[in-house]
Chains A and B, each alone.
Chain A
Amino acid sequence: MGAKVPRNFRLLEELEKGEKGLGAEACSYGLDDGSDLLMTNWNGTILGPPHSVHENRIYSLKIHCGDNYPDQPPTVTFVSKVNVPCVDQKTGEVDPTKLPCLQQWKREFTMETILIELRRYMALPQNKKLPQPPEGSTY
């Protein structure tokens, strides 16, 4: 096991990866407030997976990295309405017990891990045909 990267330096690494666009093509993320020295609140987007009802939709999310990130997972909330079982239909919050990467969180996971897994989750056979709220509606 190597050196344990502290929260803030880990978030700076993620920020730089996100800014350089090295992240997965279909997902992006960045700081909500570029002068927040604590780097707590982030915005994410997921491009709806192809061959599903989500195709060509762009979903916005908010990601909250608390003091104990990345020892603890962030809280993730959809801003754009989406109908999938892991998302609370009143608040848009992702239920951490229903998304494997949040339920079995590991320190090496990143915000990108979560966004990619959410996108895969939307494309699962049982989720890809669920009726969806109108495009562009928000919680």
Chain B
Amino acid sequence: MALPKRIIKETERLMAEPVPGITAVPHEENLRYFDVTVDGPSQSPYEGGTFKLELFLPDDYPMTPPKVRFLTKIYHPNIDRLGRICLDVLKSNWSPALQIRTILLSIQALLGAPNPDDPLANDVAQRWKEDQNAAIQTAREWTAQYAKV
């Protein structure tokens, strides 16, 4: 089973010109499956944390989006307890013109701009709306507890 040229090119570029604050390394035995890290953006409650994710390119990629999930616990209104991410470009707004690189940048941007009006983790989103300062404080604590290398 040959790996599509598109995936090979994307992988090579990720290695040759890595995105600052993001790493993506394919598994040797499955080149469609990546170990990912994303640094929390500065000025966000995730600052100073390095978050582990996993990414998988399904058979019909790039016609369908990559599958991405957090492996590090994170307190965020658009990320649920199993690390699943609610992000438009991973669903209805996916376009084959997007790439692994752009998706990971979107995820990093989501950490800097939580959107409690489109929640995946309802309890977190509700707290975010009711008492934003307290929610941000919890997000900071979780970052310190789970996302420090």
Contact = CB atoms under 8 A, between A and B. Distances in A.
Interface residues of A, number: 16
B75 to A, nearest CB: 12
A68 to B, nearest CB: 12
A123 interface: no
Contact of A37 (B30, B33, B59, B73): B73
Interface string B73-94: 1000000011110000000000
A1 B1 CA distance: 7
Interface string B33-66: 1000000000000000000001011110000000
A7 B56 CA distance: 11
Contact of A8 (B57, B58, B69, B73): B69
Nearest to B84: A12
Given A2-B59, A37-B71, A37-B73, A8 B81 contact: no
A3 B59 contact: yes
Given A3-B58, A3-B59, A37-B71, A12 B82 contact: yes
Contacts of A31: 82
Q: Which of A1, A3, A9, A37 is packed against the most chain B CB atoms within 10 Å?
A: A3
A37 B1 contact: no
Interface residues of B, number: 19
A5 B33 CA distance: 8
Contacts, number: 42
B127 interface: no
A9 B81 contact: no
A6 B69 CA distance: 12
Nearest to B61: A3
A16 to B, nearest CB: 9
B33 A35 contact: no
A8 B67 CA distance: 11
A35 B32 contact: no
B71 A9 contact: no
Nearest to A39: B82
B56 A35 contact: no
16 contacts: A2-B1, A2-B59, A3-B32, A3-B57, A5-B56, A6-B27, A6-B54, A9-B56, A9-B67, A12-B69, A31-B82, A36-B82, A37-B70, A37-B71, A37-B83, A39-B82
Given A3-B1, A3-B56, A35-B81, 5 more contacts: A5-B56, A6-B30, A9-B54, A34-B81, A36-B82
Interface of B: 1, 27, 30, 32-33, 54, 56-59, 67, 69-71, 73, 81-84
Give 8 nearest A-B pairs by CB, closest first.
A35-B81, A2-B59, A3-B59, A6-B33, A9-B56, A3-B32, A9-B67, A4-B30
